[in-house]
Structure 1
Amino acid sequence: MTTDTTEKRAVLVIATLDTKSAEVMHLKALIEGEGLECVILDTGILGEPQGVTPDIPASETALAGGMPLAEVRKKPSRGAAVEVMLEGARVFTRRLFEAGRIHGAISMGGAEGGVMAAAAMQVLPPGFPKVIITPLASGHRPFEPFIGIRDILVMHSLVDIAGINDISRAVFDNAGHAICGMVRHYRPLEITRRNLVAVTTLGTTEWAMRRISQGLRAAGFEPIIFHSSGVGGRVMEDMIGRGFFCGVVDLCPNELTDHLVGGFHDAGPGRLEAAGRMGIPQAVSTGCMDFFAQGGKETIPEKWRGRKMYYHNPAFTLIRPSHEEMRRLGELMADKLNRARGPVRVVLPLGGMSIGGKKGGSTYDPEGDRALFETLKAKLNREIPVVELACHVNDEPFADRLVAEFLAIAAAAPPTGPPDGKG
């Protein structure tokens, strides 16, 4: 997408106009009063807009989602109907962005309208202005349905989105002025340098991450750090696929453990795959793969209560995988790395993969570590070198060697230029 700063910019408003017409009219007036255009996309299912004419009516949204609106209304459940409108909203949002027609997006809605808009905003790239107003943005609720892997500003509406009153007006005005300010100052995110390296870490490997970052910077690379707590890995994989990075130092692919076992840090089935598809160099270790994350001690499911644990904080407990799970992790990791189109090197910390996993720690289990390491070595292609160090993951010699292995394959790899696409 190219953006001409002299053109009149537009804000996409996504909403269910059968229930949110008054609120959209208020937002439209504010946006246009700020000198911007307003493009309204209707995702309403049951009724018709009241007093406002959308640029993209619900009938067109439904067709883009795969069927006429009349058929959507006959769906046996509300969820099935929402899926169709959600897909249609995605289609139109992508079209408008790719045509350079919009420069920001905002929505207001609850469990259905907000989630549909959030799904549509996932097609918009990092750096593109995005705002969602919803009563579900309260502290005890999960934010995954609204944020996903995008930089979305989520604002709590305080009250239900059911008309304009003294309270809702203040919230809508703040959100409206926020998106207008973002749109006015928006510049597409552009990666112009070839030296960005993605690095993964968790708090338990903070020392290693800092040492690795120092080594990369000394060699002329710029480390971009991702917190491997589920969403961090997903964001990194997405950005690798967009061509942002020239290489990866995957210190902590622990999200594989959570995906396999069912922990909080599950990044989905695509973790540890994008770099291989893109053919960029990757130096990989096993940091933090010796645990998966759960909640506070009192919330641990019965099936895991007999396992070794590390008390991380009142909200998180780190649980040791079984030996069989460690073997399966070795197989999973090897399968993903074997499919890589670019150079790969693996560095194993034989002295422990986490704070709790070192000798004397509450999750220390050398046999479990060996189950992972031996399976991984046995299943990896012979072309992938494996370095074994009698170090803990946070020891300086280990971090230095991981950097050295990356630099060796990066030096031999063809240069990767900045991506063609811009946010």
Structure 2
Amino acid sequence: MSDSPRIALIATLDTKGDETAYVRDRIVALGGEAIVIDSGILGEAAGCEAGVSRAEVARAGGRELDEVRSAGSRGAAVEQMQEGVRAVLEALWAERRVDGALCLGGAEGALLGAAAMAALPVGVPKLIVSPSASGRRPFGPFVGEGDTLVMHSVIDILGINPISRAIFDNAAAAVVGMARDAGRPAEALGERCVAITMLGHTTPAVMHMLPALEAGGHQPVVFHANGVGGPAMERLIEAEAISGVIDFTLSELANAMHPTGIHATGPRRLTVAGEHGLPQVVVPGCVDFFNQGAREELPENLRSRKQYFHNPVATLVRLTAEEEAELGRIVAERLAGARGPVQVICPTGGFSLADVPGGDLWDPEADAAFIDSLRDSLPSHIAFEEVDAHVDDPEFADLVAERYLTIAKEASHV
């Protein structure tokens, strides 16, 4: 990385000009360079000169600034400006003119910066400083599927005083230090990098298979299948940073079966690897439950279902046989269009640590409904294998690793 890291500094200069100028100067004092991007919409820029004006930002998103201002609502204007900020930062990165990004923003400003940072690869330093980074607010809109850091500004971003100065100094030092001493884009993790999905209830099996994969010359990268991990994996697939997938844990699809599933993902989950022709081994780990919050907060209509007390703020709720059958059809449908080799392996002895005889989520009829539906719905060109084992049995993990090594080798010779 350059000894003089170049930082994209994103802020609304109509309301945060002086503060942006202070942070810009701190970046320069630390040996970096700052490219100020004005993401403001209303008012006039003041207190800091922009390297990329708000008019240029709007134009990068395909609109003139007056069009954005007349969008009809504040929210609509922010959505339109997000496209421009993202396009600007994407272009700067493509031209290798930035090494990291820092945003000073309130509620809307932080979202504008977050949209831009989503265009940068994992590993490139990204930091948002905002008063909205606090309390019970969800951090998903700031972080998305990437590695954006979020720092609470403690006070509003208005004025230079002992508190804001300390926060701004830390933020500038953090982003410059990361860009100069550590930041590396994870755009190419290696030609033999295999992505694996995992939750706590499939951890024993995934841990067991890692040495076999490594001995076979592959680099495992494990994603937590918590509603963000799966999409993050698929984003890296689209960036061509992944060469194959062991989708061992499909809990995100199970969560999508229920309106309140905390780990739910959208309709593209389990389709991206197939679209890119990657070799895949698919295991229905954790398809037996969906995630909810604290047990005492469970909706009334779920309280009669089998449950597993995961921790004080997380309860696992069993899917019914009818839901399992539908889920099996969904998994088959999403795999049907795969352009690369796919091997589906179903353990018949349970899908999670709690899905065992005597376990809180044990329901062999529901498990069978999933397996039967999946088998009957898969197209004939997709290999399907039932194994008399539990998902976390060491022998099952060995089999999954062996199957992946086989199809990966075959795929490399095509």
Deviation, 1:310, is: 0.9
Q: Which of the residues 70, 73, 80 maps onto 2:76?
A: 80
CA separation of 1:187 and 1:318: change in aligned 2, threshold 3 A: closer
Q: Which of the residues 305, 315, 321 maps onto 1:323?
A: 321
Q: Percent identity over the alignment?
A: 45
Q: Who is 1:341 aligned against? A: 339
Tell me which moved more, 70-79 or 104-113: 70-79
Residue 157 (1) aligns with residue 153 (2): yes
Letter in 1 for 2:142: F
Residue 221 (1) aligns with residue 218 (2): yes
Q: Who is 1:255 aligned against? A: 252
Letter in 2 for 1:70: D
**Any idea what the Cα deviations from partners look like across 1:186-221, whole Å, max 9, x if unmatched?**
444463632211111100111111111122123222
Q: Which of the residues 54, 63, 69 maps onto 1:67?
A: 63
Letter in 2 for 1:285: V
Report which structure shows greater RCO (CA 8 Å, sep ≥6).
1
Q: Who is 1:270 aligned against? A: 268
Residues paired across the two proteins, number: 412
Once the two structures are superposed, the pairs formed by residues 13-28 of structure 1 within 5 Å of their partners are 13-28=9-24
Q: Which of the residues 33, 37, 41 maps onto 2:37?
A: 41
TM-score with structure 2 length normalisation? 0.95
Other structure's SS at 1:161 match:
coil
Residue 351 (1) aligns with residue 349 (2): yes
Q: Who is 1:421 aligned against? A: none
In the alignment, is the contact (CA less than 8 A) between 1:149 and 1:234 conserved in 2? yes
**Any idea what the Cα deviations from partners look like across 1:294-341, whole Å, max 9, x if unmatched?**
100122122322211111111100011122221111111101111111
Letter in 2 for 1:316: A
Q: Which of the residues 292, 304, 307 maps onto 1:306?
A: 304
Deviation, 1:411, is: 2.0
Distance 1:388 1:227 in 2: 25
Q: Which of the residues 295, 298, 319 maps onto 1:297?
A: 295
In structure 2, runs of 5+ residues without a counterpart are none
Other structure's SS at 2:346 match:
strand
CA separation of 1:188 and 1:200: change in aligned 2, threshold 3 A: closer
Distance 1:220 1:59 in 2: 51
Residue 196 (1) aligns with residue 197 (2): no
Once the two structures are superposed, the pairs formed by residues 389-400 of structure 1 within 5 Å of their partners are 389-400=387-398
Deviation, 1:65, is: 2.6
Other structure's SS at 2:37 match:
strand
Deviation, 1:374, is: 0.6
Distance 2:292 2:126 in 1: 31
TM-score with structure 1 length normalisation? 0.93
Once the two structures are superposed, the pairs formed by residues 381-392 of structure 1 within 5 Å of their partners are 381-392=379-390
In the alignment, is the contact (CA less than 8 A) between 1:246 and 1:415 conserved in 2? no
In the alignment, is the contact (CA less than 8 A) between 1:196 and 1:224 conserved in 2? yes
Letter in 2 for 1:121: M
Letter in 2 for 1:224: V
Q: Who is 2:229 aligned against? A: 232
CA separation of 1:404 and 1:301: change in aligned 2, threshold 3 A: same
Tell me which moved more, 383-392 or 123-132: 383-392
Distance 2:193 2:185 in 1: 18
Deviation, 1:141, is: 2.2
Residue 371 (1) aligns with residue 369 (2): yes
Distance 2:397 2:373 in 1: 23
CA separation of 1:19 and 1:226: change in aligned 2, threshold 3 A: same
**Any idea what the Cα deviations from partners look like across 1:44-80, whole Å, max 9, x if unmatched?**
1111112222111112222223332223222322101
Distance 1:196 1:96 in 2: 28
Deviation, 1:390, is: 1.7
Other structure's SS at 2:115 match:
helix
Q: Who is 2:179 aligned against? A: 183
In the alignment, is the contact (CA less than 8 A) between 2:189 and 2:241 conserved in 1? no
Tell me which moved more, 174-183 or 65-74: 65-74
Deviation, 1:404, is: 1.7
In the alignment, is the contact (CA less than 8 A) between 2:37 and 2:50 conserved in 1? yes
In the alignment, is the contact (CA less than 8 A) between 1:41 and 1:57 conserved in 2? yes
In structure 1, runs of 5+ residues without a counterpart are 417-423
**Any idea what the Cα deviations from partners look like across 1:18-50, whole Å, max 9, x if unmatched?**
111111010111112223221111111111112
